[in-house]
Structure 1
Amino acid sequence: MADIPLASLSLTHVHYNPHDPLSFLSAWLALVPQALCVCYVTLIWASREVEVVLMFAGQLGCEALNFVLKRIVKEERPKQMLGKGYGMPSSHAQFMAYFAVYAGLFLIYRHSPALTHSGATLHFWVRVLLALVLCIGAGAVAVSRVYLNYHTPRQILAGCCAGVVCAFSWFFVTRLLRIHGWIDWTLDLEAVRFFRVRDLVVSEDLVEAGWQRWEAKRKLKRKGARDQMSSKSE
């Protein structure tokens, strides 16, 4: 066994300067796309929301495009970087740009829960703020790739542009799917119904709706307990 050469799993094998706090932070930022993939799968399994499925499908398509573009352009990474593979465009920057822009478009233009006028206005600006935070986070991940010498600024910019184009294009496609009834048609398929896929997050604040159902259940439980105590006292 000692003579068998070992290989390193490069999926999360990030080089950084251990004496530089920013380099250490950048190494952790490099793991954000992997963490988001875990979040995607978790949300799909837990919520069964078709909008999350659509967003993840676009994310996978964006990654497939990056794979093709890298092998067409065939531009090397910075000379001081010891990693393998092509660097144009940056897959991290493209991944995060797509995620931030598509999520932002959803929050601002597609997500419309039924609220009062004042509540809707506040909720809208909260969504705008969340979209801005997502864009800042995506920018931080992109900059970290330059700081770690995995990409040049040009490769990062190309990745961001590709991700933004993918996000807008896929958001437009999914809008057409909704307008022409393809989403509803898909949700009525027996195979899709078997997995209990639904489309609530567009028109409903799932946190608020879940909280209201919980409160109603708690009130019924308290009322039942009071009625039981009253019957015993009688």
Structure 2
Amino acid sequence: MGDVPLASLSLTHVHYNPHDPLSFLSAWLALVPQGLCVAYVTLIWASREAEVILMFAGQMGCEALNFVLKRIIKEERPKQILGKGYGMPSSHAQFMVYLAIYAGLFLVFRHTPVIVRSGAALHFLVRVLLALVLCLGAGAVAGSRIYLNYHTPRQVLAGCGAGAVCAFAWFFVTRLLRVHGWIDWVLDQDIVRWFRVRDLLVSEDLVEAGWQQWEAKRKLSRRGSSDHPSTKSE
């Protein structure tokens, strides 16, 4: 093994200045898209929600577009960095901006839960704040690519633009799929039903709905315990 040249797994290999705390933070921000992909798969497996699947499908389409654009434009990365592949547009920026805008559009315009714990106005405000936090996070990741010299500002701006176009376009497409009943048609297919795919996220706050079910179950359990003969005084 000592004579075999070793290769680096560049998927998580990030160059940064160890003496610069901001460079160190930027290196961690560079890993956010990989972490979000794990979160996507986890959410899909755990919730089986159609909206999460649609969002992830658009995310993968956005990544495919980035792959194609890089090989059409063929613009090199900044000379100061040893990064592999082409740099135009930035895939990190494109990934994060798509996620932030699509999720923000969903939270503000499509997510209308019936069960609202603290009132509709407060719930809507929370959703708007979450959308803003997502945009700030996308900006931080995009900025980190410039700070680490993996991309030029122009490459990052191009990635942001491509991600925004993908997000708005896919949100419009998924709206048409819902309006014309294609989502319901797919959900009625036997193979989809076998995987227990559902479409509750649009009309329900899953945390609140789950909590209400838990509370109802607990009340029944307490009522059953109080009615049990062994708990009554003789």
Same-fold call, TM > 0.5?
yes
RMSD of aligned residue pairs (Cα, Å): 1.3
Which residue of 2 is the match for residue 192 of structure 1?
Answer: 192
State the distance in 2 between where 1:12 and 1:231 align: 59
Structure 2: where are the runs of 5+ without partners? none
Report the secondary structure of 1:162's partner residue: helix
Which residue of 1 is the match for residue 4 of structure 2?
Answer: 4
With over 3 angstroms needed to count, the CA separation of the structure-2 counterparts of 1:189 and 1:81, relative to structure 1, is same
Which residue of 2 is the match for residue 106 of structure 1?
Answer: 106
State the distance in 2 between where 1:141 and 1:33 align: 9
Query: Per-residue CA shift, 1:30-76, capped at 9, x if unaligned?
Result: 00000000000000000000000000000000000000000000000
Q: Using structure 2 for the length normalisation, give the TM-score.
A: 0.97
Which residue of 1 is the match for residue 127 of structure 2?
Answer: 127
Aligned-partner residue type, residue 225 of structure 2: A
Which residue of 1 is the match for residue 171 of structure 2?
Answer: 171
With over 3 angstroms needed to count, the CA separation of the structure-2 counterparts of 1:190 and 1:229, relative to structure 1, is same
Which residue of 1 is the match for residue 52 of structure 2?
Answer: 52
How many residue pairs get matched?
234
With over 3 angstroms needed to count, the CA separation of the structure-2 counterparts of 1:117 and 1:219, relative to structure 1, is closer
With over 3 angstroms needed to count, the CA separation of the structure-2 counterparts of 1:116 and 1:70, relative to structure 1, is closer
With over 3 angstroms needed to count, the CA separation of the structure-2 counterparts of 1:155 and 1:196, relative to structure 1, is same
Which residue of 2 is the match for residue 210 of structure 1?
Answer: 210
Structure 1: where are the runs of 5+ without partners? none
Which residue of 2 is the match for residue 83 of structure 1?
Answer: 83
State the distance in 2 between where 1:29 and 1:131 align: 19
Displacement of 1:184 after TM fit? Answer: 0.2
**Does structure 1 conserve the Cα–Cα contact (< 8 Å) formed by 2:115 and 2:204?**
no
Which residue of 1 is the match for residue 140 of structure 2?
Answer: 140
**Does structure 1 conserve the Cα–Cα contact (< 8 Å) formed by 2:89 and 2:158?**
yes
Report the secondary structure of 1:233's partner residue: coil
State the distance in 1 between where 2:200 and 2:170 align: 20
With over 3 angstroms needed to count, the CA separation of the structure-2 counterparts of 1:7 and 1:119, relative to structure 1, is same
Which aligned pairs between 1:88-99 and structure 2 lie closer than 5 A? Answer: 88-99=88-99
Which aligned pairs between 1:153-172 and structure 2 lie closer than 5 A? Answer: 153-172=153-172
Displacement of 1:14 after TM fit? Answer: 0.3
Aligned-partner residue type, residue 184 of structure 2: D
Identity of aligned residues (%): 82
State the distance in 2 between where 1:231 and 1:7 align: 68
Misfit runs of 4+, over 2 Å = 115-118, 229-234
State the distance in 2 between where 1:90 and 1:10 align: 16
Query: Per-residue CA shift, 1:140-175, capped at 9, x if unaligned?
Result: 000000000000000000000000000000000000
Report the secondary structure of 2:12's partner residue: coil
Report the secondary structure of 2:119's partner residue: helix
